[in-house]
Each structure stands twice: as structure tokens, then as C-alpha cells.
């Protein structure tokens, strides 16, 4: 199975369909009037579909076991066709498309099995995904048209002195590009109050959308980034800070010590993240692209 530990838990939904085609009107009449010898076709098939959805991970090798928190099975009759629709919901790190399609296929197969004694011309057609929602790609697409840009600043005495190589800043640059944010400026500076002040004022004056600092958020007396940034902010955004810490805490118990800071100055979103590659990577995974919604609020075009 692929690694999904880096993903956030979100509400995910999938709807799948299948079509059962019978060969004569009498078969449809028998189903509607509950005259099929093997029993109530709609109820038996629905029950089988519910079992199938919950057992998908047992049948499909690469499917992750996940909490199925809602499943519905519905039918629509159209002449000699029975249209089957299965909807599945979960709050998890991966989607439920295969669960929905597995459910729809087993519903159709159950109907086939129950009806074959009275109709030898039955076919199953068009097992397919009808819709899905809730994945990160859904959010990414909402912000592509905003044409946002960012400055990424690495605050580190040792890296600016050439003693170490930057990896955290480059990881942030890569993530921002992947969600459609253009990088205006990438720079390595010493973790000093004056330098940080200059970067903030330059970004605000240049109307940069996003200013990301990495480094200088530890507990050492030399780590001054949060103390330098907080007084300059017009408003902090505690929810984003909490999301960063909660995401990290699920992966390492040391994240409780994070001093990440998020806020706005003017209409520039300012984010201060840990300087470790792992910490920086996890932090941007936790909040992007959803944090970009702030720019819809700025523009007055909220799509909640």
C-alpha cells in the first residue's frame, strides 16, 4: 500500500453506479412486487452492498482499511434497467472511490444471482465512479486562479555562514510551487531581528502574498524569529498555528515544543516554521493549500 501518513484527515465522499439490465418486463415486475423466489431483491442486494463496502480492504490488496462512516444504496428503474447508486463517506486520509465501486458491483452481482433463475438474459453494465470529493486536489484547484506569489526566507546563522546546506527552505519552495504559488524570492539570512524586520517590511511594501520564514523557532536563546515577527503582525491566526502543531504531534511527540507563528500584516500572510527539514515539510503539508483560503477572504469571494 502507498504511504498516506503525510495526508490530513478530511471528509471524503464517493458515489459509484452500476446498471443491471434484464431481458423482459416480467422480471422487473417480479422485483417490484417481491415475487422473486430467492427473496426481496432490493433489500438482499442492499445488505450485500453494505457488507462489500466494509470489506473492500480485505478484497483489494492496495486498499487501506478505513472507517466507513456512512453508506447508502439506492435504486432507480428505467424500463428494463435497474440503476444502482452507492454513496460512501469517511473522515480519513484517503478516499473511498474503490469502496463505492466495490459496493455497487456486489449489489449488481447479488441481483444477478437472485434473478438468474427467472431471467437468463441479465447483464451488468457500467460499473463506474460517478463523483468524488474531499481530497487535497479539490482544494488545490480552488486557488490556482488567484495567481499568488511568495518569498521564502531561511533564518539560520550556520547556513548563512556556509557551515550547513539548506534543505527546509527548498522543501517549502517545492510545496508552494506544487499548489500553484509562484516564488518571487528565496534567500538565506542570519537569525537576527534586524534582518527579519527588513524581510517583513520589504514583502509588505512589495505586496507579496505569502512570506514564509523557516528556522529560528526553537527554544534556544539564539532563536529569535517568533519574537521578531509577532510584534509586527496586525493579527495572529491561532487556528493555523494549532493545525501545524496538531499535525506534527500525530507524527512525533516533540512537536508540542513548536513555536510556529502565523499571522497577517496588511494583506501579506506571514508564516514562521521550524528549521528542520522534517518540521518544515510537515508544517507545509499540514496547512497548504487550505490556508490559501485567506486570499479569497481578502478578495471577498469566499466559497465555503
CA 12, CA 96: separation in Å to the nearest integer? 7
Backbone angles phi, psi at 182, to 5 degrees: -80, 140
Place of cell 517583513: 200
Backbone angles phi, psi at 260, to 5 degrees: -60, 145
In angstroms, what CA-CA distances link 210 with 44, 106, 183, 193?
55, 49, 9, 19
Backbone angles phi, psi at 187, to 5 degrees: -150, 150
DSSP category for residue 284: H
Going by C-alpha positions, the residue among 164, 144, 146 that lies closest to residue 154 is 164
Going by C-alpha positions, the residue among 41, 44, 112, 101 that lies closest to residue 71 is 101
CA 283, CA 81: separation in Å to the nearest integer? 50
Q: Which residues are catalytic?
A: 113
CA 210, CA 149: separation in Å to the nearest integer? 6
User: If you count them, how many residues does the chain have?
Assistant: 304
Amino acid at each position: 500500500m502507498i504511504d498516506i501518513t503525510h495526508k490530513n484527515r478530511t471528509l471524503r465522499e464517493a458515489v459509484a453506479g452500476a446498471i443491471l439490465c434484464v431481458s423482459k418486463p416480467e422480471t422487473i415486475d417480479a422485483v417490484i412486487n417481491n415475487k422473486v423466489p430467492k427473496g426481496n431483491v432490493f433489500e438482499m442486494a442492499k445488505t450485500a452492498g453494505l457488507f462489500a463496502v466494509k470489506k473492500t480492504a480485505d478484497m483489494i490488496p492496495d486498499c487501506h482499511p478505513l472507517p466507513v462512516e456512512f453508506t447508502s444504496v439506492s435504486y432507480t428503474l428505467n424500463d428494463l434497467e435497474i440503476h444502482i447508486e452507492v454513496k460512501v463517506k469517511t473522515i480519513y486520509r484517503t478516499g473511498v472511490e474503490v469502496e463505492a465501486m466495490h459496493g455497487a458491483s456486489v449489489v449488481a452481482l447479488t441481483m444477478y444471482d437472485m434473478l438468474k433463475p427467472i431471467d437468463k438474459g441479465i447483464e451488468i453494465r457500467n460499473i463506474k465512479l460517478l463523483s468524488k470529493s474531499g481530497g487535497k486536489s479539490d482544494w488545490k484547484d480552488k486557488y490556482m486562479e488567484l495567481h499568488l506569489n511568495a518569498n521564502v526566507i531561511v533564518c539560520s546563522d550556520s547556513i548563512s555562514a556556509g557551515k550547513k546546506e539548506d534543505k527546509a527552505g527548498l522543501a517549502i519552495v517545492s510545496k508552494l510551487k506544487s499548489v500553484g504559488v509562484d516564488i518571487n524570492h528565496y534567500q538565506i539570512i542570519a537569525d537576527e531581528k534586524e534582518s527579519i524586520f527588513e524581510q517583513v517590511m520589504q514583502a509588505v511594501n512589495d505586496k507579496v502574498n505569502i512570506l514564509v520564514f523557516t528556522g529560528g523557532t526553537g527554544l534556544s536563546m539564539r532563536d529569535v524569529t517568533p519574537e521578531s515577527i509577532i510584534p509586527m503582525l496586525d493579527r495572529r491566526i491561532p487556528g493555523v498555528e494549532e493545525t501545524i502543531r496538531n499535525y506534527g504531534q500525530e507524527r512525533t511527540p516533540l512537536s508540542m515544543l513548536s513555536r510556529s507563528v502565523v499571522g497577517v500584516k496588511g494583506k501579506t500572510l506571514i508564516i514562521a516554521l521550524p528549521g528542520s527539514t522534517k518540521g518544515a515539510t510537515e508544517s507545509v503539508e499540514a496547512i497548504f493549500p487550505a490556508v490559501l483560503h485567506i486570499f479569497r477572504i481578502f478578495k471577498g469571494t469566499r466559497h465555503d
